[in-house]
Amino acid sequence: MDQVSTLILAAALIIIMLGMGLSLVFNDFKRIVVYPKAILVGLTNQLILLPLIGFTLVSVFPLRPEIAIGIMILVACPGGPTSNLITHLAKGDIALSVSLTALSSFITILTIPFIVNFALVHFLDEGQVIQLDVVETIIQIFAIIVVPVAIGMVVRHYKEGFALRMAKPVRKASGIVIALVIIGIIIKEKHNVIPYFKQAGIVALCLNVATMLVGYYSAKIFKIKKAQAISISIESGIQNGTLAISVAVVLLGSTEFSIAPAIYSLLMFFTGGVAIYLGLKRKEFQ
């Protein structure tokens, strides 16, 4: 992508994270004390099990290096505002979902550079290896995640009415922009889209389904309430595709690495729809 497209993508992510900040209050971070077991299980799924499942899948399937790296970038970016919306529609615990999204977004500032660097070294030939500067990457991710989220939270704290009115338009605007970005990526990589989709589509779907199932049943093993188990399942299985695409394009300068996150971003609405359907059916029989 050219520099203008890269800036547009970075701006889209900033808008999305600002929108997330507008939906957060400081009490969301206190829930780590209120729901310690649910928070711990959720974060374990997002930060440990998700990368392990992703690495297992890309090791088992015969994938091109660009696809394998794209999947690993994706598993380094759990949660995201979309998971909150799907949780709400699926009748999960929205407060827990928002808390997990917020906490994982802050923690992944530190984990993303290490997971992505591992993937680059592991899957690329020695002569092709690119490495992210860890400190510089942390600063960049901090600027496009933490700063807009913090601004959104401050606005929500002091101008709650304004924040609530702006949350929906900001979500819509960010959704339109990221849709245009995905279309742009597909157009740029049009010669590779079909072969890439055949590889990335299967792995992305397996990743999505596997992490949602592991998230749900790990919560049940620890006797966590059903609504919270749904939240953990969705938070484990619905990744922040926008952030993953931004890491690939903005930080690594590669649209090839962004193909797998782009395909995943489309597929997750299908599996998210299934989660919503099952959540609504559960409510009917209660």
Within a domain: 133: yes
Within a domain: 173: yes
pLDDT score recorded for residue 285 = 45
**Which residues of the chain are under the pLDDT cut of 50?**
127, 284-286
Within a domain: 10: yes
The neighbour count for residue 121, using CB atoms within 10 Å, is 12
Q: Identify which of 151, 174, 163 has the alpha carbon closest to the alpha carbon of residue 240.
A: 174
Domain count, the chain: 1
Within a domain: 256: yes
Within a domain: 286: no
- pTM for this predicted structure: 0.82
* Residues 53/210, Cβ–Cβ less than 8 Å: yes
Within a domain: 240: yes
Burial code of 49-66, b = ≥16 C-beta within 10 A, e = fewer?
bbbebbbebbeeeebbbb
pLDDT score recorded for residue 218 = 95
Q: How far is CA 100 from the centre of its chain?
A: 12
pLDDT score recorded for residue 67 = 92
Within a domain: 11: yes
pLDDT in tens, 3-23: 666 677 777 777 777 877 787
pLDDT score recorded for residue 74 = 94
Domain that holds residue 148: 3-281
CATH number at residue 274: 1.20.1530.20
CA distance 286 to 83: 24
Q: What angle do CA 186, 190, 193 make, to 5 degrees?
A: 75
Within a domain: 44: yes
